[in-house]
Chain A
Amino acid sequence: MTSARHNAVYNLPIAEMLVSSPGLSRSSLPLLVTLCFLLTSISFAADWAAPELELARKIAAATGPGAVALDVTNRSSLNKKDADEISRGLRVQLEALGVRTVKPEQAAATVEVSLSENLQNYAWVAEIHQGAGEFSVVMVATPRQAAAAFVREPAPLTIRKIPLWAQEGRILDVGVLEEGAAGPSHIAVLDPEKVALYKFTEGRWQQEQALPVTQARTWPRDMRGRLVLRQDHLFDVYLPGVFCQSSGSVPLSLICRDSDDPWPLSTQFALSGFFAPTRNFFTGGLSPGVGKQISTAKFYSAAPIQRPTYTFWIFAGVDGQVHLLDGISDQNARLNWGSDLASVKTACGSGWQILSTRQGDNSSDSVRAYEFPDRDPVSVSQTVDFAGGITALWTEAKGGTAVAVSRNAETGNYEAFRLAISCSQ
């Protein structure tokens, strides 16, 4: 961990200094992101007045008062509405400075304004042509806005996707500690460095505590982790080669140690799997096993399906096969599934559904629910789409919902959702 002095990172004075601004702690960044995340249904109109005035002043300084022909071209990622608004605003500012905009044949000068952009800013460039071949260029820069972090689903689906949390850094798991009438009110967010506890009070999420994961390991790429709520203490954390346990009373503490203890594969059944400490998969070793079967092929994820007389398990294998273990046989299936599975016990359909990611690249992803009337899956829902690859999918503590984390391909932020099955179509 870095010391307080080390956190005094210096960066150039650029538009987006959230991480390095000394007045804003790192811990408050996720909160801000989340607020944006939760409030994106509200559209904030950009304020272009200042750069409009600045550019108008520069143009007026070059042309002097009089009549000019103004043409505005949008060469940037600004939408038409904003570009039109800027064009109107610029004309108003110019008029106020004594520069009237007229038709080209009536103008003493022509001003071609390009709304351009570079890496960090919008660049508004005015090319001014006056009599006798006189040509000048003036420009202003104004910071570009970050892309919208989240677009709310337009309509409820069979699988409801409920936003839980979003942040720049990787989210490994989210545990819901308390529920209010309107949804989760107290959550624990596991990332590679810490478990952060947030409480929803006075209309916003506030960080209660951040418990650092103290260990000296280098985490594997595509890191995974599991946060498991407990009854005798608040939670356990399973990380590659590391196990952490929280204390049971406030203020909480988190004690971590190197460990090869198996990770729980279900909140409903006592099956655990050994996780490869330098990779992103389970070794295949099971504890205590599925019936007499104490191992299977290396796998990424596992999900149980309960039958009246037995339980069988589905493993998404590293070999690309889906393995079905029922305590006696290990059957391979060729399914068009991704590598993350979770099962949920609901009041819908047969009572058990498997949530599965889809196969494909990580520019987008989706989850679909399946049931197993026999040994072949049947799709029972439409897909619910994500704006990037799913990096985690775990069944929640009560077993009726799951947490999915995806990395938004556009913003790069990690976004955690609760996935709940709705019986109504």
Chain B
Amino acid sequence: MVAETRPQYGASLRTATRIAPTSLDPAAQPDSVAQRNLSRLMFDTLVTMDSRGRVQAALATSWQAAPGNQRWQFWIRRGVKFHDGSPLTPEAVAAALRAANPDWSVLPAVDSVIIERNAPDADLPAQLARGRNAISKRSEGGTLIGTGPFHITDWQPGKKLALAADEGYWGGRPFLDAIEIEMGKPARDQLIALDLGRADVAEVAPEQSHRASTEGRRVVTSAPVELMALVSARARQSPEDGKLREALALSIDRNSIRSVVLQGAGEPSGGILPNWVGGYAFVFITDQNLERARQLRSEVRQPPAWTLGYDAGDPLARVIAERIALNARDAGLTLQTTTASTADLRLVRLTLASLNPQIALAAVASATGLAAPKLSGNSIDELYQAESGMLQTQRLISLFQLPVSYALSPAVKDWSQERDGARHLENVWLGSKP
């Protein structure tokens, strides 16, 4: 029997991830929950967002906007050091932010940085909480370094990352001594490693989470944070094209796909933001309506055959793409699935970019080739109108909102995870197994 109420320092956590980045530069990474979780081990942002979407101090202790919200000043926490021992300076912060945001004017001041945008930006603090705006710099040896809770001890791009606790971390030294992360490892292999006692934490694919749980594993799941959607390569070409797109959207049996393919994971989605962020997602239609789909299809004389592309490395995407093609055929539409990089439609996964709904919507617009939504305020009406407007372009057909899940060994204690899947391994410790 071990007294375990109070956290224990020490031990090395073994984990793996499906992604296989070849660079750790936070500004150069595709946005995903796995990537963010990797990045925040080594790098800090000026501010963070708490579980209710409120901005909280991190490397910046305070901030203030000039009237008009175009010019912002962020005061930098004193005494913070990069992993090579050099101090965090306003100059280093400004350089990192300029590199990540070439269109921003970022100037260092005595103990702060001043950011000027070319238009009012009330959401700038929330922007700075995004992983891509984490503060990093190159050490004299050219290595990328940050101020995060762990520093790099071994980095084999795309294969392995070994980290050690930073003894002087400004937020308090992590409980763990080290973390070993194997990269490019499929979720199924990660579960096997967990079962064999070779890993402490494993990523669990959405379609595996129910089974992983019923088989007695300890599984933790986030709120839905990943939008799976069909994105058209082109804007709507004609009213007939619009009818076919609507027919496709109505032909998809999301409930059946969720039940069979996703094994009950996630939520059918007709909108862009998950309900826990927007609050109105149920307004958007998700039910299949084959009758209406066929009617719309019949109103177009010679519908083209579309190609539906998906990521060849994503087995879930392949199965869902095939199910969508079958549903479309029931409505009289022809969809040819392909792994080619060019396709009329692509099945994509879009990670919720921020707990700030305005930023999250803008990120989806940017990723799908839509115009940025114009929002002059923060009212729920405006948000809904902006989201509706994006959907009305018919460039995007929403399918599912998916969560992220992890399976944990019994030794993992005080697992700390935000609703958006952000995990805080600096708070985790390893105890004895029961």
Contact = CB atoms under 8 A, between A and B. Distances in A.
Interface of A: 2, 5-14, 16, 75, 114, 116-123, 125, 127, 137-141, 216, 218-223, 278-281, 300, 316-320, 322, 334-340, 357-362, 365, 389-390
27 contacts: A2-B62, A6-B75, A9-B64, A11-B54, A11-B55, A12-B54, A12-B123, A12-B125, A13-B378, A116-B279, A125-B282, A137-B384, A141-B380, A218-B79, A218-B168, A218-B173, A220-B172, A222-B6, A278-B167, A278-B173, A320-B1, A320-B4, A337-B3, A338-B3, A359-B4, A361-B414, A390-B5
Contacts of A12: 54-55, 122-123, 125-126, 378
Contacts of B279: 116-118, 121-123, 125, 139, 141
Contacts of A14: 53-54
Contact of B172 (A223, A334, A359, A360): A223
Contact of B52 (A2, A9, A16, A334): A16
A285 to B, nearest CB: 17
B379 interface: yes
The dominant DSSP class at the A interface is loop
A338 B172 contact: no
A127 B283 contact: yes
A336 B280 contact: no
B168 A316 contact: no
Contacts of B63: 9-10
B191 interface: no
Contacts of B8: 318
A246 to B, nearest CB: 25
Interface stretch (B150-158, B256-264, B270-278, B335-343): B270-278
Interface in B42-95: 51-55, 57, 61-65, 75, 79
Sorting the interface of chain B by its residue count into under 10, 10 to 19, 20 to 34 or 35 or more gives 35 or more
B7 interface: yes
A141 B169 CA distance: 40
B28 interface: no
Contacts of A334: 1
Contact of B53 (A119, A358, A365): A119
A364 to B, nearest CB: 11
B226 interface: no
B146 interface: no
A359 B1 CA distance: 9
Interface of B: 1-9, 51-55, 57, 61-65, 75, 79, 122-123, 125-126, 167-175, 275-280, 282-283, 355, 357, 378-381, 384, 413-414, 426-427, 432
A360 B2 CA distance: 9
Nearest to A391: B6
A352 to B, nearest CB: 21
Contacts of B380: 118, 121, 123, 139-141
A137 to B, nearest CB: 5
